Structure 1
Amino acid sequence: MISISSVNPTAAAAAAATAATSAAVPSIQPQRRQQLLFLSPPQHHHSRRCLTVRAIDAAQPYDYEAQLNQRFTQSTRLRIAIVGFGNFGQFLAKTFIRQGHTVYAFSRSNYSSIAQSMGAVYFSDVHDLCENHPDVILLCTSILSTEQVLKSLPLQRLRRNTLFVDVLSVKEFPKNIFLQVLPTHFDILCTHPMFGPESGKYSWQDLPFVYDKVRIGDEDSRLKRVDNFLDIFKKEGCRMVEMSCSKHDRYAAGSQFITHTMGRILEKLELEDTPINTRGYETLLDLVENTSSDSFDLYYGLFMYNKNAMEQIERLDLAFEALKKELFGHIHEVLRKQLFGKSEEGGAQKPILAKLPKNNNGTPLLPSPSESVSSRGDGGGNGR
């Protein structure tokens, strides 16, 4: 703010002073200049008349420095459009909003009341969402619907440098879809928060967040925008892992897919809680609960859209067959000792046949040495 004090001014001098000062601050609108300028009461001096312009305290609300600080704070805040506002989208939105970012939401189902309760802006029409020019389009759809949803977005209504981000459990698939569908002027960031509403319910501290900067423009503003988005997860204490999409899928097939597979196998066994649960058994029950709470579409997507998953299925099958052979191999040795005792070592002991199971005619039921372990009737995988 600027004030003008005069010594014994006339009305004409006061008007001239106001005009002169207004010309000195041309960047301020006329209405604002009238609010910022005022004349101090006339003071009479016999010697001379003078016009004094003095600056008031620099910490006024409309100071340039204050405006710069405010602009800097606002520049770190993002307008994030979440496309697919289901369970996981809502889970992420809560943290985005808590950190001061603006969240736009769109989904096939109507989540307007949920969005309003958490402070997000819900759009029932994706065209309206895109016309609000979000900084980030975050796809929180299922793996199976990602391509369809991406192709349905009115890209022409977005700013030409909008950042597209996915959070799918597979990475090469969305990367290839983004590169095929999105024009080159859009930025692409592929991510995988390796946690969800259950595992990240209380904290994201030390939970892994994998990301790959697939295509980012070299302008400072676009680089800064990516950093601002990644900072959301850094601030929550995530373990940030920058990794290529192909390497992620290779690792994930050996960890995440196997975990889901074992959980669903155990679910088929219908494990029950017992009064004598061990810690290991409790871990199995937790695994079943965590994996079965996810949709089968997610599990199918992990298998269908990760080329490394089939290899893991084959390795798992081979490992189970090898374990059965080892297990039944020990049984065969026990039966041999019961049948022949020490006779194979040159002793005179007779076979102990009384302890073997009997056929209907009373003769011992002997295993065939040439019988394939995998084809045995007692070698099934039911485990019941």
Structure 2
Amino acid sequence: MSETSKGKKNIKIGIIGFGRFGKLTARYLSEDMDVFVHTRSNKTSEIREIGAYPASLEEACNQDIVIPTVPISTLEDILKKIAPLLKKDALVIDVCSVKEYPIKWMKELLPETVSILATHPMFGPDSAADSLKERKIVLCKVRIEEKFYNKIKSSLSSKGLTVIETTPEDHDRQIAVSLSLTHFIGRTLSEYGASELLIDTEGYKRLLHILGVVEHDTWQLFADMNRYNCYAEPERTAFMAAMKIVNERLKE
């Protein structure tokens, strides 16, 4: 009997990728649904440990819902690979930290019969290690039936998640500040060499917290969230200009 035929729950999900976020996604979804994970590396035991099933790319794509949990910079190529393998009525959900580019790619590359939902889970393997309660997830409707969309929203809310509905443009404008700029500050603090001090302040501890938020994330994630968000560079430029103004005032 193949893994795909092992149904114990109604909706079956295919996940492409098993990095830190892919593993987190598979772990939570496996609580309620059959999850089939495809990854290029051999992580069979890890996948089984969290209650999911190892799968070929074809098997993962032959599910009701398919979620690529891959870097933004590789998503376009992944969509090209999975497009001919998807079920006619499948739903594809992206989880990227930018929205305009992924939506553009999904609309261009996926069959018209496939439903599309763009999401950005505002949490990661560290912040949601124990619970999803009071975490946020952003949804951008692209191409999905209202009834199915509302069912997904209800399911997310039942997990304790706060659901935020917005447009791709509004998401990317806000995330350029709340995420990209925050990571820029954290990376800068790391490059500066900021570390714990015996004589510190609460403000300094907050700066170190920002550094701690980004230190477990890859440089690729940081680069991608900036490269694929057209609002990120203007915000960085404005921030550095503001720093220069403050520094010049100190010289007066």
What are the Cα deviations for residues 167-210 of structure 1, in whole angstroms up to 9, with x where unaligned? 00000010000011012111000000111111122322222210
Please report the TM-score for the alignment, with normalisation by the length of structure 2: 0.92
Question: Of the two structures, which has the highest relative contact order with CA contacts closer than 8 Å and spacing of 6 or more?
Answer: 2
Partner of 1:101: 33
Query: What letter is aligned with 2:73?
Result: L
Structure 1: how far apart are the matches of 2:20 and 2:186? 21
- How far residue 318 of structure 1 moved from its aligned partner, in angstroms, is 1.0
Structure 2 residue 164 is matched with structure 1 residue 236? no
Structure 1: how far apart are the matches of 2:109 and 2:171? 22
Structure 2 residue 70 is matched with structure 1 residue 141? yes
For residues 341-360 of structure 1, the aligned pairs below 5 Å read: none
What are the Cα deviations for residues 83-126 of structure 1, in whole angstroms up to 9, with x where unaligned? 1111101111111112x211010112222111111111111x31
Match of 1:210 among 109, 129, 138: 138
- How far residue 229 of structure 1 moved from its aligned partner, in angstroms, is 3.3
Q: Quick check: 2:60–2:66 contact (8 Å CA) kept in 1? A: no
Q: Quick check: 1:77–1:228 contact (8 Å CA) kept in 2? A: no
Q: Quick check: 2:132–2:159 contact (8 Å CA) kept in 1? A: yes
Query: What letter is aligned with 2:76?
Result: E
Partner of 1:262: 185
Match of 1:129 among 60, 82, 88: 60
What are the Cα deviations for residues 118-153 of structure 1, in whole angstroms up to 9, with x where unaligned? 111111x312333xx311010110011111111112
Structure 2: how far apart are the matches of 1:115 and 1:121? 6
Structure 2: how far apart are the matches of 1:120 and 1:227? 25
Matched residue of 2:194: which SS? coil
Matched residue of 2:72: which SS? coil
Structure 2 residue 223 is matched with structure 1 residue 291? no
- Aligned residues: percent identity? 30
For residues 100-249 of structure 1, the aligned pairs below 5 Å read: 100-123=32-55, 125-130=56-61, 133-153=62-82, 155-217=83-145, 223-249=146-172
Q: Structure 1 residues 291 and 302, CA, compared in 2 at 3 Å: closer, same or farther?
A: same
Structure 1: how far apart are the matches of 2:52 and 2:244? 52
Structure 1: how far apart are the matches of 2:117 and 2:180? 23
Q: Structure 1 residues 137 and 321, CA, compared in 2 at 3 Å: closer, same or farther?
A: same
Structure 2: how far apart are the matches of 1:285 and 1:159? 47
Q: Which runs of 5+ in 1 are unaligned?
A: 1-73, 218-222, 330-384
- How far residue 239 of structure 1 moved from its aligned partner, in angstroms, is 1.1
Which protein shows a greater Rg? 1
Q: Structure 1 residues 144 and 178, CA, compared in 2 at 3 Å: closer, same or farther?
A: same
Please report the TM-score for the alignment, with normalisation by the length of structure 1: 0.61
Matched residue of 2:102: which SS? helix
Match of 1:276 among 199, 205, 209: 199
Q: Quick check: 1:81–1:105 contact (8 Å CA) kept in 2? A: yes
Matched residue of 2:251: which SS? helix
- How far residue 248 of structure 1 moved from its aligned partner, in angstroms, is 0.2
Q: Quick check: 1:76–1:228 contact (8 Å CA) kept in 2? A: no
Structure 2: how far apart are the matches of 1:150 and 1:176? 11
Q: Structure 1 residues 215 and 76, CA, compared in 2 at 3 Å: closer, same or farther?
A: farther
Q: Which runs of 5+ in 2 are unaligned?
A: 1-6
Query: What letter is aligned with 1:129?
Result: A
Structure 1: how far apart are the matches of 2:74 and 2:17? 10
- How far residue 76 of structure 1 moved from its aligned partner, in angstroms, is 8.2
What are the Cα deviations for residues 201-233 of structure 1, in whole angstroms up to 9, with x where unaligned? 23222222100110114xxxxx44433433342
Match of 1:308 among 219, 227, 231: 231
* Paired positions, count: 246
Q: Structure 1 residues 251 and 88, CA, compared in 2 at 3 Å: closer, same or farther?
A: same
- How far residue 75 of structure 1 moved from its aligned partner, in angstroms, is 11
